[in-house]
């Protein structure tokens, strides 16, 4: 069966409730990094020299009597505590994960100075990030109106402490225990992970300058001709700093096996998207009759890892990556990447909610067999604000394939379609990219992050039935 590769955000990044920069690290609601508080965990310290009348001086109500692993009220109103747990607990538990620089489990946590702006308190940054048009947290606006109102209304009232709160036990969702190579239906023979340049030692994530660090790790293809992947699983090593990863396959380019290098933004154009992971992502097990195209023996695989060491951990050594199950005998149906979107981009200066449309239409799909969509991976650059792909059927009905109402360049991942969506001959796929351009010059298509793109990388089968795996793209 197909199991979702990712919980859509990110890409994956629920730091929505934090004062970090626009590389907030989480992408799903309360499914990772449980509170995990130990009995001997220290409380967050106040700021030396604070005004005793300042709200930061409250000493909370949770304390050492709380059940280990269960957050007490700790001075937070119960509704606020529960909303934070459900929407921010993935990254901002007692032991922060995926680049989050601080916990959000107690009143003390939200009244200390924000790591990215010590002149402001965390709760002030929470309001700014939750209402931002760009870099919104939680990513994709992935929070209910009710929970959002609970947090924002409380902040608007001055973030008052509730020393009498008796919240009881309210745990966030536990992480999926069935994620990782040990839960694959094989003993994974092929593993690609982050590493030091030229050897297999862990990659050392810098203490400074790694708030938004992309690093690429190169592997010569280990796969034989005709070999297909049948399942894969994320390997997440130092979860404190790993934001997300994407695995590409390149059939050309200047690559050296074993190298660890800065990432080239042209990967999105010159290489094929193979797999990816963002917080909340799961193992992928393809249907029994479907295998993933792994290219040719001379290809290279490039593992792009996004690190976020906002907390400046001095001991961040990482070997995150991916493990594959494979079969030497091709399965009846081959899955691979179909690219939708457009290169005909022209975003006027000062534009707000400007739309660019890519159409994969009747004249293309009429020659296809029924095409099964397993997942989608939208891609834009810094001006991207929203993305959607809609399937318009020949009978006049329609179905949403991808809908990312709040797109974040730093939070890109793979979004599962479970159950899979079937595109029938003659159907139309329309992809819409939405941009804001605050600059004084028009922006067009290009490889640089100051240029723009409008792509949707669609994992589908049978991909080998297509003569052209780009549909609607104007190359």
pLDDT in tens, 183-241: 999 999 999 999 999 999 999 999 998 888 999 999 999 999 999 999 999 999 999 99
Query: Residue 229 has what pLDDT?
Result: 97
Architecture of domain 181-331: Sandwich (2.60)
Distances (CA, A) of 395 to 380, 388, 398, 425: 31, 21, 9, 12
Strand partners, 250: 300
**In the prediction, which pLDDT does 250 show?**
94
pLDDT at position 260: 97
Contact assessment for residue 340 and residue 471, using Cβ atoms and an 8 Å cutoff:
yes
Burial letters 279-313, b for 16+ CB under 10 A, else e: bbbbbbbbbeebbbbbbeeebbbbbbbbbbbbbeb
pLDDT at res. 439: 92
- For residues 250 and 269, the answer to whether their CB atoms sit within 8 Å is no
Phi-psi region of 361 (alpha: psi -120 to 50; beta: other; left: phi over 0): beta
Tens-of-pLDDT digits for all 475 residues of the chain?
443 333 333 333 333 333 333 333 333 323 332 222 233 333 333 333 344 344 444 343 333 443 333 344 578 888 888 888 887 877 787 777 776 777 887 888 888 888 778 888 888 888 887 887 655 677 656 788 888 888 999 889 998 988 887 776 655 545 567 899 999 999 999 999 999 999 999 999 999 988 889 999 999 999 999 999 999 999 999 999 998 898 999 998 899 999 999 998 778 778 888 988 877 788 999 999 999 999 999 999 999 998 989 889 999 999 999 999 999 999 999 999 999 999 999 999 999 999 999 999 999 999 999 999 999 989 888 899 999 999 999 999 999 999 998 887 766 777 889 899 999 999 999 999 999 999 999 999 987 768 898 999 999 999 999 988 889 886 4
The predicted structure's pLDDT at residue 311 = 85
CA dist 195 → 82, 216, 240, 392 (Å): 39, 9, 17, 44
Residue with tokens 């660019």: 356
pLDDT at 369: 96
**What kind and span of H or E run contains 231?**
strand 228-235
Q: Match domain 334-471 to its CATH number in 2.60.120.230, 3.40.50.720, 3.20.20.80, 1.10.10.10.
A: 2.60.120.230
Tell me, yes or no, if the two domains 181-331 and 334-471 fold the same way.
yes
User: Prior bond to 254 cis, omega within 30?
Assistant: no
CA 114 remoteness from chain centre:
23
pLDDT at 14: 32
Q: Give the C-alpha separation, 116 to 135, whole Å.
A: 14
Residue spans of the domains in the chain: they are: 15-156, 181-331, 334-471
Pair of tokens at residue 12: 């994956």
- As a whole number of angstroms, the distance between CA 426 and CA 32 comes to 41
């Amino acid at each position: 069966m197909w199991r979702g590769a990712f919980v859509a955000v990110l890409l994956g990044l629920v730091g929505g409730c934090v004062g970090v920069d626009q590389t907030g690290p989480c992408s799903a609601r309360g499914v990772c990094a449980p509170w995990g508080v130990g009995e001997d965990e220290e409380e967050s310290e106040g700021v030396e020299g604070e005004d005793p009348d300042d709200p930061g001086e409250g000493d909370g109500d949770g304390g050492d009597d709380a059940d280990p692993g269960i957050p007490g009220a700790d001075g937070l109103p119960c509704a606020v505590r529960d909303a934070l747990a459900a929407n921010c607990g993935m990254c901002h538990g007692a032991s922060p994960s995926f680049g989050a620089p601080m916990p959000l489990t107690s009143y003390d946590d939200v009244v200390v100075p924000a790591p990215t702006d010590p002149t402001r308190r965390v709760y002030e940054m929470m309001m700014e990030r939750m209402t931002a048009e760009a870099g919104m947290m939680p990513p994709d606006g992935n929070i209910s109106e009710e929970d959002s109102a609970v947090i924002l209304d409380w902040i608007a009232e001055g973030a008052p402490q509730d020393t009498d709160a008796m919240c009881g036990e309210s745990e966030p969702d536990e992480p999926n225990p069935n994620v990782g190579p040990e839960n694959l239906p094989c003993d994974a023979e092929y593993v690609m992970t982050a590493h030091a340049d030229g050897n297999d030692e862990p990659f050392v994530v810098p203490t400074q300058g790694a708030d938004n660090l992309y690093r690429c790790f190169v592997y010569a293809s280990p796969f034989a001709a005709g070999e297909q992947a049948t399942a894969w699983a994320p390997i997440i090593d130092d979860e404190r700093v790993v934001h997300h990863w994407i695995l590409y396959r390149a059939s050309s380019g200047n690559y050296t096996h074993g190298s660890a290098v800065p990432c080239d933004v042209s990967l999105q154009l010159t290489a094929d998207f193979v797999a990816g992971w963002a917080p909340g992502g799961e193992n992928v097990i393809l249907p029994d009759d479907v295998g993933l195209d792994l290219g040719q023996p001379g290809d290279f695989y490039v593992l792009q890892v996004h690190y976020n060491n906002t907390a400046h951990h001095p001991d961040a050594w990482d070997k995150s990556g991916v493990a594959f199950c494979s079969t030497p005998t091709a399965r009846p149906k081959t899955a691979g990447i179909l690219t939708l979107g457009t290169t005909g981009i022209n975003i006027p200066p000062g534009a707000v909610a400007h739309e660019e449309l890519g159409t994969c239409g009747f004249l293309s799909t009429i020659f296809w067999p029924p095409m099964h969509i397993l997942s989608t991976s939208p891609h834009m650059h810094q001006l991207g604000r929203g993305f959607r792909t809609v399937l318009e059927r020949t009978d006049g009905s329609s179905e949403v394939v991808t809908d990312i109402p709040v797109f974040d360049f730093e939070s890109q991942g793979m979004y599962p379609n479970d159950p899979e969506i079937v595109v029938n001959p003659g159907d139309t796929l329309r992809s819409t990219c939405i941009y804001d351009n605050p600059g004084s010059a028009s922006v067009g298509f290009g490889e640089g992050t100051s240029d723009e793109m409008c792509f949707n990388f669609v994992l589908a089968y049978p991909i080998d039935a297509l003569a052209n795996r780009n549909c609607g793209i104007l190359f």
